[in-house]
Amino acid sequence: MRTQVIHTGNFKLDGGAMFGVVPKVIWNKLNPADENNLCNWAMRCLLVEDGSRLILIDTGIGQKQDEKFFGYYYLNGDNSLQNSLHEAGVDFGDITDVLLTHLHFDHCGGAVKWNSSKDAFAPTFPNATYWSHAEHWQHALNPNRREKPSFLKENIVPVQESGQLKFIGDDFKLTENISMLLANGHTEKMMCPTIKIGDKTIVYMADMIPSSAHVPINFLMSYDIRPLQVMDEKERFLKEAADNNYILFFEHDLNVECATVEQTEKGIKINRTGPLTDFL
């Protein structure tokens, strides 16, 4: 089994939105904002080779949106989904499975691209099965008013129309080594893939814990639709992670790729950070 971090570029979001009710005097020390109160965030994906399957977890924001859309998010950095895959020796056609944790645009935008004629959208990965959760898929097609701007039809409908879409089964497993932890606080039925490699366990945190700065229980995003539930989910998960020495893989942390946590007298804290390769 092999893993490869896939960097798809960075984008900027309002710091207050990313840290909710936590005062700026606190969070600004963790991820300093620019003059527009924007913090820079990664869109870090993960490539997993499991037997004959080459699995990509999330796809970043993609490149098909118009200039006005991208103008809101200040894309930056030298990485892209295509370049990072090529650096890993992988072409779009090599991917057998695309696992979408949830359908907010910064997680699934790269799953769909313009076709060669640029008159319609098509799946980026022509030979891949796209995996989602059935209830989340319906939630994204019929979103609440708060989340509607994050669920873009062009990221969703072309996958369904392609016939490449499947839903995770009741056992919540993609392979014998990859299973799903479900979380409902950030959005309905978000999947956090749990990957077993030998005696190690990697948990792809998606937006339950988007960065190392969000490990404290009360550090929540304003984007979460059920903030109190996020707190409960984080508390349960972090206790389990500390007890079992899980490797937390952060999708949005600009600088910290992975961490482990430990129980202390003051609660659960990060005890080690570094690149994924340092933990395996």
pLDDT at 116 exceeding the cut of 90: no
Residue 134: which domain range? Answer: 2-278
- Residue found under tokens 């077993």: 196
CB-based contact 185:208 (threshold 8 Å) = yes
Q: Which one-letter amino acid corresponds to residue 4?
A: Q
pTM of the model: 0.97
Going by pLDDT thresholds of 50, 70 and 90, the confidence category of residue 189 is very high
| Residue 153 neighbours by CB distance under 10 Å | 10
Smallest Cα–Cα separation from 209: which of 225, 188, 193, 186? Answer: 186
Q: Per residue in 130-160, pLDDT tens?
A: 999 999 999 999 999 999 999 999 999 999 9
Q: Per residue in 218-236, pLDDT tens?
A: 999 999 999 999 999 999 9
Cα–chain center distance at 229: 19
Q: What are phi and psi of 156, to 5 degrees?
A: -115, -55
pLDDT at 121 exceeding the cut of 90: yes
Q: Between helices 134-141 and 153-162, what is the axis angle to 10°?
A: 130
How far from 198 is each of 239, 268, 279, CA to CA, in Å? 22, 25, 12
Domain count, the chain: 1
Question: In the structure encoding, which two tokens stand for residue 209, read together?
Answer: 């814990």
CATH number assigned to the domain comprising residue 168: 3.60.15.10
